[in-house]
């Protein structure tokens, strides 16, 4: 089965067939290339640009239509309470995580108190640098806005 599909023998057979002296062989070869190239070229020249579909906007509202200002305030307060409860729960979880790492550090003989103090200093330094950068950017934006035109 493999010997029937030998690429080398197939290519040599094609080359021998092309080399045989036949009338109009170069004409037919040129015409086949020209026809193939002409068809491909004609398809490549056609370009059709379809305009994009208009966007379909669907508004979804989870609020009742025609709510009063008092209802809006009440839902805002409820949402704020839920947010604060979530943040408090996350803070408790973070504290538990820190305590667990401190317990692990103490169990392995690491001085976690000095590491915590150093981390506190580093965090304060980073916060001060960020605040100074914010002030600098604010002052730069103020001076740019104050320039006369």
Tell me the pLDDT tens digit for each residue of 30-79: 999 999 999 999 888 877 788 999 999 888 778 888 889 999 999 999 99
- Number of Cβ within 10 Å of residue 114's Cβ equals 9
**For the residues 127-144, what does the mean pLDDT come to?**
89
**For the residues 123-141, what does the mean pLDDT come to?**
93
Dihedrals phi, psi of 43, to nearest 5 degrees: -70, -30
Cα gap 38→30, rounded to integer Å? 12
Q: How far is CA 74 from the centre of its chain?
A: 38
User: Per-domain residue ranges for the chain?
Assistant: 3-42, 71-110, 111-149
Q: Report pLDDT digits (tens) over 13-29.
A: 888 888 888 888 888 88
Show the tokens assigned to 105.
Answer: 């550090």
| H-helix or E-strand spanning residue 29 | helix 25-45
Residue 149, pLDDT above cutoff 50: no
Cα gap 14→5, rounded to integer Å? 14
* Mean confidence (pLDDT) of the chain: 88
Query: What is the pTM for the complete model shown?
Result: 0.41
- Contact predicate 18/25, CB 8 Å: yes
Cα gap 42→34, rounded to integer Å? 12
Residue 94, pLDDT above cutoff 50: yes
């Amino acid at each position: 089965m493999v010997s029937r599909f030998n690429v080398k023998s197939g290519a040599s057979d094609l080359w021998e067939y092309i080399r045989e002296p036949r009338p109009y062989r170069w004409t037919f070869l040129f015409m086949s290339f020209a026809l193939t190239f002409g068809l491909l070229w004609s398809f490549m020249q056609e370009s059709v640009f379809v305009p994009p579909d208009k966007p379909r906007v669907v508004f979804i509202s989870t609020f009742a239509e025609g709510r009063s200002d008092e209802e809006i305030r009440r839902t805002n307060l409820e949402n704020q309470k839920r947010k604060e409860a979530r943040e408090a729960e996350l803070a408790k979880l973070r504290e538990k995580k820190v305590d667990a790492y401190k317990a692990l550090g103490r169990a392995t003989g690491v001085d976690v108190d000095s590491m915590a103090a150093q981390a506190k200093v580093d965090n304060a330094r980073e916060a001060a640098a960020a605040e100074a950068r914010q002030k600098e950017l604010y002052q730069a934006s103020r001076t740019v806005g104050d320039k006369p035109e």
